[in-house]
Structure 1
């Protein structure tokens, strides 16, 4: 078997895994499901290993299949890189860029720039997974991961810090009108706190005011692993929330929430972009990386 034929089989296998079934892969490739299944069987024979566990419900990868899928992705990216290298017109670059994005960045940064991205790169498609859990760029089928964190652990991934993500203390006007006045961080201890409970989160808040900076243990009445739940609770008057500024800017402008600006975030989170280290980074990934890194930097209200 030639290397070209093996490349074709790897490509078909990748489509099968991405599609979830032989039938769906056949539709995507415009060939019969039986032919797709036959090509996967040929690939298994060439490699001398079972790649898929077939059942009436779904296909499941074996350990060898997982390794083969990673290789198939690398081969596909290498071929795409070669194609991109031979094509100077960015509008002719095709393919799908897979992004893994936390909810606060997806809804208030990425979503508002999708139309601009489509206009600049009409032949590129985006596949966005919104997730607040930490994904592994080396082991998951993703091109770029957006991660909000104070710092990144040692990693072989390629990273770029693109912005800060400061949080603000905020509450509804109704809540503040019926509770004790807040002038310093110590005053927060007598208030109801709406606290984020997620990766790298803490039940304490690290704050700065005129008296200096310190950790404050607020009176927690609600924990949630979603900042938008906390925002809605704060708007309804449930208490004080410590939320990323980017997701409450509109509510602060309209007066639905009041910014307690005498107290500041003493240790803002940072936004990083991560990708797997590859010798030849596909042009489609380079384009998306530069575009969204700049879009995040341009969010001047984060400063």
Structure 2
């Protein structure tokens, strides 16, 4: 049997969390994945994964083998890059995750430009507003907003994302423009359905942070849909400035409560830490940093 290939499959199963997820990532069938794991266990004469119909868990031996196997795979990749030299053509798969709004509006163009410069790199761009586990989803680089939790990830700061309060001229004509927290409380809100504050707007004003209760009129999990709702005059809402610049220029949206804004969000590119960072990851993060200047 090909022990190294089986080792790579085992590590992907562990990091993906299931045989089916690993099969999708490796573009093979689930039975093929299962056969490789079984063959590896028979070769090693030890059970690595305890499998039931509902869940999968590493055995003690499996946990030890995973740590050693992952280090071996990284060392093999590092040896290949060292042998090829730093000036070698970048190759291999590069999986990138970004929030949908900024990802579709800006990051996609950067990713396309990077692939055009490095045509041997296979790009897999995943646009998702959810927080993803980079190891579990086999993500090489992710774009994240806001404060970063302490983790094993390496972070490269890209900028600061501004968020302002906006409404359509149609809405303002019908309902007026709030100028303070008291008048804001009488208005309808357009917001993300996963906003932790719920029916409230957390803002920073002249006197500091405030949280204003408002009535939610429209929710969605997509920034473009929320912008359409705001332009249609459904309510007032916070919006990421890069995503509404065109609507502001065209007069489809106007800023309200100009003395107030949402807290700005730090924007980072993050990637798994380790003794070895693949050249394609380092190159893409540097490219991303250079080509996102001015977006935020």
Q: 1:95-244 residue pairs with structure 2 within 5 A?
A: 95-149=92-146, 151-198=147-194, 201=197, 203-208=199-204, 211-215=206-210, 216-244=212-240
**RMSD between superposed Cα atoms in Å:** 3.5
In structure 2, distance between residues paired with 1:181 and 1:15? 54
Name structure 1 gaps, 5 residues minimum: 27-32
Name structure 2 gaps, 5 residues minimum: 14-18
In structure 1, distance between residues paired with 2:106 and 2:87? 23
In structure 2, distance between residues paired with 1:66 and 1:133? 30
In structure 1, distance between residues paired with 2:125 and 2:66? 20
Task: State the 1:81 CA deviation.
Answer: 2.2
Contact 2:154/2:270 (<8 A) preserved = yes
Q: Which moved more, 1:237-246 or 1:134-143?
A: 134-143
2:251 is matched with 255
1:20 aligns to 2:23 (yes or no): yes
Contact 1:169/1:263 (<8 A) preserved = no
Normalization by structure 1: what TM-score?
0.77
**CA 1:194–1:8 in 2, change beyond 3 Å: closer, same or farther?**
closer
In structure 2, distance between residues paired with 1:201 and 1:270? 19
**CA 1:176–1:140 in 2, change beyond 3 Å: closer, same or farther?**
same
Task: State the 1:38 CA deviation.
Answer: 5.9
Secondary structure of 1:125's aligned partner:
strand
Task: State the 1:176 CA deviation.
Answer: 1.4
2:58 is matched with 63
1:80 is matched with 77
In structure 2, distance between residues paired with 1:126 and 1:60? 31
Secondary structure of 2:175's aligned partner:
coil
1:29 is matched with none
Q: Which moved more, 1:129-138 or 1:232-241?
A: 129-138
Normalization by structure 2: what TM-score?
0.79
**CA 1:75–1:229 in 2, change beyond 3 Å: closer, same or farther?**
farther
